Amino acid sequence: MKTSICIISVTAILLASSTNAFVVPLARPYHPPSLITTATTASADTATVALQMSENDEDSDLTTTTTTTTKKETTWDRITGPKLFKTVTNWNGIHSVPLVPLRIMTGLLMIHHGSEGGLGPANFGTPEFQGFIDYIVKPYFGFLPGPPELWSALHDYVEFGGGILFALGFLTRPASLALLGTMMSAVYFHLSSVGLQGFPLGHVSNYSYDFEEPMLYSLIFLMFWFNGAGPLSIDSIIYNTISQEEEEE
């Protein structure tokens, strides 16, 4: 009896062992490494796109807010704002408007300087013209070759004819250069005769230095020599015609 019980026990133990051998434990599904990498990259790309879309939305909102809050610049803002300190680099359009009265008035004022002793230039035999020769040309410009009457007449013709050309804006650059020469000569004469007169703080009887007027004229002619006549001038009409013809060719 005992032997039978032992045989049954051994048999039960062997059956249990064989049954456990065939039981397969549950395992997690297998994923290849390439599939895992692809999934990770796709998730990162999705997050990046979402972040960029969020940033674009924020920029769009910021631009809209800036556009709606921008105030239109007024004339007062241009006078008192940052443009108060801005230097104009292009003298076209409205910036060239002040050149017109400056050029015309300077030319008209220059005409009478070249008509001493009469309505026209070089009035030989008149006291005014002869006084210009005796008291200015001879003592201060005696180093120039040729007779002083020639230089006196040339001075008058340059200021009279040059003033007309300058006012009309015709051959403005050559006229400006010639007038600049006469005005610098006048500056030299006044500095040679009376000096600086205490410039810049000195006071004189006629309230202006003798070289003051020709110096200002010189600077005006220098500016127009560099920049040309400006608008409302014969030079501008000629240039526009020539430039159009060149474009058509």
- pLDDT over threshold 60, residue 106: yes
pLDDT band for 122, please (50, 70, 90 cuts).
Answer: confident
Average pLDDT, the chain: 78
Contacts of 193 (CB under 8 A, 6+ apart): 140, 210
pLDDT band for 185, please (50, 70, 90 cuts).
Answer: very high
Tell me the C-alpha distance between 164 and 176, whole Å. Answer: 11
122 in helix, strand or coil?
coil
- Render the burial of 119-129: b for 16+ CB within 10 Å, e for the rest: eebbbeeeeeb
User: How is residue 124 written in tokens?
Assistant: 């030989």
Helix pair angle (99-111, 212-227), 10° resolution: 130
- pLDDT over threshold 90, residue 187: yes
User: How is residue 143 written in tokens?
Assistant: 């180093």
Most confident stretch, 23-32, 70-79, 87-96, 171-180 = 171-180
Average the pLDDT over 219-242 and give the result: 93
Most confident stretch, 49-58, 80-89, 180-189 = 180-189
Q: What percent of the chain has pLDDT over 90?
A: 43
Contacts of 231 (CB under 8 A, 6+ apart): 96, 97, 99, 100
- pLDDT over threshold 50, residue 37: no
Tell me the C-alpha distance between 249 and 181, whole Å. Answer: 39
Average the pLDDT over 69-88 and give the result: 76
Residue-level pLDDT at 164: 96
> Hey, CA dihedral for 223, 225, 228, 231, is it positive or negative?
positive
What one-character DSSP code corresponds to residue 242? H
- pLDDT over threshold 50, residue 2: no
Residue-level pLDDT at 214: 95
Residue-level pLDDT at 108: 95
Q: Of 52-61, 179-188, 234-243, where does mean pLDDT reach its minimum? A: 52-61
Residue-level pLDDT at 49: 47
User: How is residue 165 written in tokens?
Assistant: 């050309």
Cβ atoms of 224 and 176 closer than 8 Å: yes
Cβ atoms of 159 and 110 closer than 8 Å: yes
pLDDT band for 22, please (50, 70, 90 cuts).
Answer: very low
Average the pLDDT over 102-110 and give the result: 95
pLDDT band for 101, please (50, 70, 90 cuts).
Answer: very high
Residue-level pLDDT at 24: 42
Residue-level pLDDT at 246: 53
